[in-house]
Amino acid sequence: MDIADLIARDRPRFRTATAFVESVLREAILSGALPGGTPLRQEELAAGFAVSRMPVREALRQLEAQALVDFTPHKGAVVTDISAQDAADNYAIRAALEPAALRLSVPHLTHEDFDRAEALIAEMDAEGDLARLGELNRRFHLTLYARAGRPRLLALVEQHLAAADRYLRFHFAALGRDHMAQDEHAALLAAARAGDAEGAARIAQAHVETAARNIEAFFARR
């Protein structure tokens, strides 16, 4: 999706221009529309969003705090580029957080949650578009974590899941989309359904770690 589309579609949803610019830029970075290393010129962005430089600057500051852009004084902001180290970092964090979220959440999951998760697995089987596939994958995992009752923990997981989409792009490009590991998703859901929080946590951890290995192998091979 182009940036212009995002602008036209979402502007009314935000009360302030700053929040709007921040949201669009974040999605653009996470979706890969703005690849790592892209310099973000304030004037240019301001013109694109039809606002002044100020909301752009504030938005860039927020993205800096989220480690999505790098700031250098008097040189400006650049989209953080994705390295093998960053990927390893991301997966190490997720491998720690997601099993923890699962352990807290599984005891409180409802039938509706399980049904929704199952439907998402089916949708993933049918979906062809990669961006959409990443979105479905995120929603599947977040559905299973949602009942953890720890909003900050969930926000962290969500943030790092979204960031992982940037690597997922390489993942698919290198290995094909059958590496989405749908059987692991099914096993995860089954364990959660059985109330086996510990087993589910183990599967989730292994799930993240195999993904990490795949990405690592991909980076090593070039």
Partner DNA sequence: TCTAGCAAGATTGGATCCAATCGACAATCG
Partner DNA sequence: CGATTGTCGATTGGATCCAATCTTGCTAGA
Q: Which residue has the tokens 């039809």?
A: 50
Q: Which residues bind DNA (CB under 7 A)?
A: 16-18, 39-43, 51-55, 57-58, 71, 73-77
Give which of a second copy, DNA, none residue 65 binds (C-beta under 5 to 8 Å, depending on kind): a second copy
Q: Is 1 in the site for a second copy (CB under 8 A)?
A: no
Q: Which amino acid is at 181?
A: A
Q: Which is nearer to DNA, 38 or 182 (CB)?
A: 38
Q: Is 220 in the site for a second copy (CB under 8 A)?
A: no
Contact stretch for a second copy (CB under 8 A) within 12-20, 38-46, 106-114, 184-192: 12-20
Q: Which is nearer to a second copy, 31 or 205 (CB)?
A: 205
- Here's the x/- map for a second copy, 155-174, by CB under 8 A: it reads as xx------------------
Q: Where are the beta strands (DSSP E) in 37-162?
A: 39-40, 69-72, 76-79
Q: Name the residue among 120, 138, 122, 144 with its Cα closest to residue 200.
A: 144
Among 20, 29, 90, 117, binds a second copy (CB under 8 A): 90
- Here's the x/- map for a second copy, 134-153, by CB under 8 A: it reads as --------------x-xxxx
Sign of CA dihedral 175, 98, 204, 113: negative
CA-CA distance, 146 to 153, in Å (whole number)? 10
Give which of a second copy, DNA, none residue 89 binds (C-beta under 5 to 8 Å, depending on kind): a second copy
Tokens of 48: 């694109």
CB atoms within 10 A of CB 14: 14
Task: Give 1: exposed, middle or buried? Use CB within 10 Å, 0-12, 13-18, 19+.
Answer: exposed
141 and 168 Cβ atoms separated by less than 8 Å: no
Footprint on this chain of a second copy (rule: CB under 8 A): 15-16, 18-19, 54, 57-59, 61-67, 73, 85-86, 88-90, 92-93, 95-97, 99-100, 104, 148, 150-153, 155-156
